Amino acid sequence: MITLHGFGENFGLPEVSPYVTKTEVHLRLAGLPYVKEASAPQFSPKGQLPWLDDDGELIADSHFIRLHLERKYAIDFDEGLGALERAQAWTIERMVENHFGWTMIHMRWLTPENFAKGPAHFFDQLPPTVQEDVRREVQGRVAENVRAVGVGRHSQAEILGLGVRSLAALSALLGDKPFLMGARPTSVDAVAFGMLAGLLTPFFDAPLRDRAMTFGNLTAYVDRMMAGVYPEFAWTPLNLPAEPAWA
């Protein structure tokens, strides 16, 4: 039995974390049965979510979970792609996760209004006497990480510019295709969808989301992926009229 450990549903999303979403989409694309349990990073072998318990074998980090699934279950998420296309997919994945993702983390954790209604509530189950101290401590660690990768060293306008440039690149790469690499979803769609859905959920408000909403092919893409991967989730389409549910 496969058990996926993640944060769970919140913020108008079927899963809070884009990285857990990535793994969950991989599981669903592969048609592998699994159960999902709410967890916390400190219980993971690597101190981060997601992590997987596959019949007692523990695998942490969405990338290494993907490799495990492909190896153990003889799955190729990029089946049909040539060497150049696989390289392009990897390049897109790195841009989305290792750069664009930090602009979204900045939006959620370091914009006071978004933090107050979103991540701040992760600590509601703690004793009231320590909640605020823990909130400040964790938010401070997030701010240090955002600064360490470089994004947090810039002004608000500069961070917005970086995020918009990544959105424009994704929009150009997607073009009029149903999915990033063509007619069927591949591994990189799990990554891009998770991050874009995390940005585009109406739960949060930010200039970066406003700019993202102007890329019609990206909003239609998120709607398409949501309907195809999470048909049970009540998602209000971003793109009207709605695109076909799944190509």
Domains defined along the chain, listed by start: 1-75 (3.40.30.10), 79-247 (1.20.1050.10)
Per-residue tens of pLDDT for the chain, all 247 residues: 999 999 999 999 999 999 999 999 999 999 999 999 999 888 999 999 999 999 999 999 999 999 999 999 999 999 999 999 999 999 999 999 999 999 999 999 999 999 999 999 999 989 999 999 999 999 999 999 999 999 999 999 999 999 999 999 999 999 999 999 999 999 999 999 999 999 999 999 999 999 999 999 999 999 999 999 999 999 999 976 555 555 5
Q: In angstroms, what CA-CA distances link 53 with 3, 34, 36, 48?
A: 5, 10, 10, 14
Q: Is 129 exposed, middle or buried (CB count within 10 Å of its CB: 0-12, 13-18, 19+)? A: exposed
Tell me how far apart the alpha carbons of residues 96 and 102 are, in angstroms, rounded to a whole number: 9
Going by C-alpha positions, the residue among 125, 215, 204, 205 that lies closest to residue 165 is 215
Q: Are 140 and 239 in contact (CB under 8 A)?
A: no
Structure tokens at 224: 């398409």
